[in-house]
Amino acid sequence: MRGAIRGLGVGLAVALAHAAEPAGAQPAGANYDEAKVPAYTLPDPLRFEDGAPVRDAADWTVRRRAEVLHLFETHVYGRSPSPPAAMRPAVVESDPRALGGLATRRQVRVLLDGTENGPAFEILLYVPNAASRPVPAFLGLNFGGNHTVHPDPAIRLSTAWMREGPGVADHRATEASRGTAAASWPVERILDRGYGLATVYYGDLEPDHADGWKDGVRSRLGPGVTGRFAPDDWGAIAAWAWGLSRALDVLAKDPDVDGRRVAVIGHSRLGKTALWAGAEDERFAMVVSNDSGEGGAALARRRFGETTEAITKSFPHWFCPRFREYAGREDALPVDQHLLLALVAPRPLYVASASEDLWADPRGEFLAARAAEPVYRLLGREGLGVEEMPVPDRPVGKTIGYHLRRGEHALTAYDWEQYLDFADRHLRRTAASSR
């Protein structure tokens, strides 16, 4: 660890010197030495595929943005289907005095083909009772079932397939798993700050394993029913992101939620998912990526920590089949992750890293945010506004926010506090905007 510091840019050297706790054991066989990061050239966000310059906001908004989106669809995440016409939400539980009166709780089962036994997912929604409605809200997928985000006994226990873990028996959730992820979901704090919170179990959309597509929306709704996926058929990340957009369809019709002020958030693989959802769906008013790493906010060309080879080997189902062709050939990629971040522009974007999470390449996440800035500026927004990577626990940024939290790979109360402050800056109704 110490040796590696020599090759670092000044900013990160300072950052890591400050955070000099030894990083938790990072997966072996990866490069964690900045000095070994190969030279690379990033695709220019402000140049069309044919080499012509993107001259102004209209050029970006009308043509270049669509070009970049198409490249991610056909080379990284895959093409997703349009919303199902027969989709129908059904409120299965609600209580106006949940959490001791702090919130209104609603649980909505979204029937994707309109039938009770068809593909479906469940939204758990909390709306603060003290705030004037409709409220801005955060929407995020969870890893272990809605019942894990809070010990509230009224949350319906998920009956979907679960990865083995605490409180899970034979891939089914048990009562013992209630509230086990509460540390990542400070529900009362979010409500106290005047925001609603909506969450969905990502496994409702597709169980997260190589054959998960057989039980998920990819086989029950879109192409790929046979399992022979075309090179640009949607992967699991695209399926989870598609689910976030379907959840937004429902929230946008909820009288208590302001559908124009919904922030999409995700941690790690669900951070990659939140970024793709925000890139594809411009209805999301703000996008938050927490420690998303490779295939998320981190630049692939740096080959630092997890690489395209490693991720497509470990999780072949996450991306479209064509993405595997770039394993070890990152320079041949027609995109890199700064372009994914640029697709969120001019909307507020927050990228966060953790100092010990080298597998996710914190510096690569910061550099991608910085490299997306020219698009924000072209669209009249200040982006990060800093050149150097900040030291730990010192958030920076304007319309692009960034922090390097001291510590491990996790979504913590500290991270949420920064996202709530950022949302206050960008989503709060000002006197002018509420007219």
Residue ranges that bind ligand GTR, judged by CB under 6 A: 268-269, 293-294, 306, 311, 314
DSSP 360-409: G-HHHHHHHHHHHHHHHHHTT------SSPPPTT--EESSEEEEEESSSS
**Residue closer to ligand GTR (CB basis): 269 or 338:** 269
**Residue closer to ligand GTR (CB basis): 204 or 258:** 204
Catalytic residue chosen out of the listed positions 268, 289, 353, 355: 268
**Residue closer to ligand GTR (CB basis): 104 or 312:** 312
Active-site residue flag, 409: yes
Separation of alpha carbons 362 and 364, rounded Å: 5
**Residue closer to ligand GTR (CB basis): 250 or 274:** 274
**Residue closer to ligand GTR (CB basis): 270 or 343:** 270
CB 306 to ligand GTR: min, Å: 5
* Coil vs helix vs strand at 14: helix
Contact 365/298 with Cβ under 8 angstroms? yes
Residue whose token pair is 């349009």: 82
**HEC string of 165-217?**
CCCEECCEECHHHCCCCHHHCCHHHHHHCCCEEEEEEHHHHCCCCCCHHHHCH
**Residue closer to ligand GTR (CB basis): 46 or 410:** 410
Helix axes 269-280, 236-251, angle to 10 degrees: 60
**Residue closer to ligand GTR (CB basis): 204 or 208:** 208
Catalytic residue chosen out of the listed positions 75, 338, 409, 426: 409
Give the C-alpha distances (Å, rounded to integers) separating 412 from 184, 186, 365, 416, 417.
5, 8, 18, 6, 9
Active-site residue flag, 219: no
Q: For the CA atoms of the chain, what is the radius of gyration? A: 21
Residue whose token pair is 């790690």: 268
CB neighbours of residue 164 within 10 Å:
8
**Residue closer to ligand GTR (CB basis): 222 or 293:** 293
**Could you give the dihedral angle defined by the CA atoms of residues 401, 403, 408 and 409, in that order, rounded to the nearest 10 degrees?**
10
CB 299 to ligand GTR: min, Å: 14
Return the bridge partners of 110, or none. 89, 121
Find all residues with CB under 8 Å of 152, minimum gap 6, and list them. Answer: 98, 99, 105, 179
CB neighbours of residue 28 within 10 Å:
5
User: To which H or E segment does residue 353 belong?
Assistant: strand 349-354
**Could you give the dihedral angle defined by the CA atoms of residues 156, 162, 165 and 168, in that order, rounded to the nearest 10 degrees?**
50
φ and ψ of 263, to 5 deg: -95, 130
Nearest by Cα to 296 from 408, 164, 416, 409 = 409
Instruction: Please give the structure tokens belonging to residue 57.
Output: 């906001």
How many CA atoms lie less than 13 Å away from 312 in the CB half-sphere?
Answer: 19
**Residue closer to ligand GTR (CB basis): 265 or 311:** 311
CB 426 to ligand GTR: min, Å: 26
Residues marked active site are found at 268, 409
